[in-house]
Amino acid sequence: MVWPRVWGDELGVLCAEFNIDLSKIAMNEHLSETPRLVSCIMTVYNQEKTVREAVLSTLAQTYSPLEIIVSDDCSSDATWQILQEIAGGYDGPHRLVVRRNDQNLGIAPHVGLLFSLCQGDFVCGIGGDDIALPNLAKDLMTAWLSLKCRPDLIAFPVIDMDETGACHGIISVSDLASYQTVNEWANNPPMIIGAGLAYSGRIIQKYLNDFPPGLSHEDQLGVFRGIMGNGGVTLSSPLVKYRRGGISRKPDLSTGVALKRKVLQDAKNDYLFYSQVLKEAGDKLIEKHVKRMLKIIRRSKYLLDLEAASFSRTVCMTGYSTGVDLGFRIRALMQIRWPELPVKIRNIKNKIKRKSS
Write the DSSP string, 1-54: -PPPTTTHHHHHHHHHHTT--GGGTT--TTT-SSPPPEEEEEEESS-TTTHHHH
Closest CA relative to residue 59, chosen from 109, 99, 105, 12: 12
Question: Looking at the predicted structure, is the pLDDT value of residue 8 above 60?
Answer: no
Residues 212, 331, single domain; the answer is no
Residues 130, 276, single domain; the answer is no
Residues 67, 103, single domain; the answer is yes
Mean pLDDT of all residues in 10-27: 53
Question: Looking at the predicted structure, is the pLDDT value of residue 21 above 90?
Answer: no
Reported as a single tens digit per residue, the pLDDT across 297-315 is 999 999 999 999 999 999 9
Whole-number pLDDT of residue 9: 55
Residue at 334 is within a domain? yes
- Residue 171: pLDDT band (50, 70, 90) is very high
Reported as a single tens digit per residue, the pLDDT across 216-268 is 777 888 899 999 999 999 999 999 999 986 555 566 777 889 999 999 999 99
Residue at 251 is within a domain? no
Residues 332, 198, single domain; the answer is no
Whole-number pLDDT of residue 255: 87
CA distance 195 to 157: 9
Residues 49, 14, single domain; the answer is yes
Residues 211, 261, single domain; the answer is no
Residues 172, 321, single domain; the answer is no
Q: What's the domain range around 181?
A: 8-243
Show Cβ contacts of residue 229 under 8 Å, excluding neighbours closer than 6 positions: 152, 200, 202, 203, 206
Residues 270, 238, single domain; the answer is no
Residue at 48 is within a domain? yes
- The residue out of 187, 219, 243 marking a domain boundary is 243
Q: Any idea what the CATH number is for the domain that residue 113 is in?
A: 3.90.550.10
Residues 306, 216, single domain; the answer is no
Residue at 249 is within a domain? no
CA 180 centroid distance within chain = 22
Whole-number pLDDT of residue 207: 85
Whole-number pLDDT of residue 2: 33
User: The whole model's pTM is what?
Assistant: 0.80
Residues 92, 239, single domain; the answer is yes
**How high does pLDDT run on average in the chain?**
87
CA distance 158 to 125: 13
Whole-number pLDDT of residue 342: 82
CA distance 14 to 16: 5
How many domains does the chain contain in total?
A: 2
- The residue out of 193, 216, 243 marking a domain boundary is 243
Whole-number pLDDT of residue 27: 44
Residues 210, 263, single domain; the answer is no
- The residue out of 211, 243, 275 marking a domain boundary is 243
